[in-house]
């Protein structure tokens, strides 16, 4: 991950990196990087802020997209199930090791989704974007090390 990225003419800095671990065996699934206009360790403020921000997920293990869909639906709640289905429908059937997903929240637009360098769609509005950031850095992240790392703490 780079220390900064240019998005829409604005520099976003790497706030932190975290590792998504799964199962009781703590298997590494992806490495995530959070980019913001300025660093912050306040997850609630980052989630609430409608400003430009980016999450980059670099997969280090093959993951079937349907497994990701069920995890997101469980975390986001049934009210966003159709949006989770639309989001995961943009992704390949399997996220293979080496795949990068870039999620960029743009104010007034929503969450742009890229797989590799290819733009695969936009989740319009703020609700899904906010739910995704809450999933990663909110009060109940998939694993605590992911949140701690993304908020600038120790990554692993």
Distances (CA, A) of 133 to 25, 47, 139, 151: 25, 6, 11, 12
With pLDDT > 70 as the criterion, what percentage of the chain qualifies? 97
pLDDT band with cut points at 50, 70 and 90 for residue 25 = low
Distances (CA, A) of 24 to 21, 27, 117: 9, 8, 33
CA dihedral 18, 19, 20, 26 (to 10 degrees): -140
CATH 3.30.70.380 given to domain 4-150:
no
Distances (CA, A) of 125 to 66, 83, 112: 24, 11, 10
Which is more confident, 21 or 83?
83
Residues contacting 51, CB < 8 A, separation 6+? 36, 37, 105, 107
pLDDT band with cut points at 50, 70 and 90 for residue 54 = very high
Q: pTM here?
A: 0.94
What pLDDT score was predicted for residue 131? 95
User: pLDDT for 119-153, tens place per residue?
Assistant: 999 999 999 999 999 999 999 998 889 999 999 99
pLDDT band with cut points at 50, 70 and 90 for residue 156 = low
């Amino acid at each position: 991950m780079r220390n900064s990225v240019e998005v829409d003419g604005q520099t976003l800095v790497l706030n932190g990196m975290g590792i998504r671990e799964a199962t009781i065996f703590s298997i590494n699934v992806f490495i995530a990087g959070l980019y913001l206009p300025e660093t912050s360790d306040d997850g609630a403020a980052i989630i609430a802020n409608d400003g430009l921000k980016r999450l980059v997920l670099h997969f280090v293990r093959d993951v079937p997209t349907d497994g990701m869909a069920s995890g997101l639906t469980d975390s986001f709640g049934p009210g966003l199930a159709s949006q989770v289905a639309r989001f995961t429908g943009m992704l390949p059937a399997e996220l293979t090791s080496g795949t990068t997903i870039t999620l960029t929240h743009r104010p007034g637009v929503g969450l742009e989704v890229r797989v590799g360098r290819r733009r695969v769609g936009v989740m319009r509005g703020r609700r899904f974007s906010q739910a995704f950031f809450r999933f990663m850095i909110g009060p109940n992240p998939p694993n605590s090390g992911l949140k701690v790392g993304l908020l600038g703490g120790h990554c692993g």
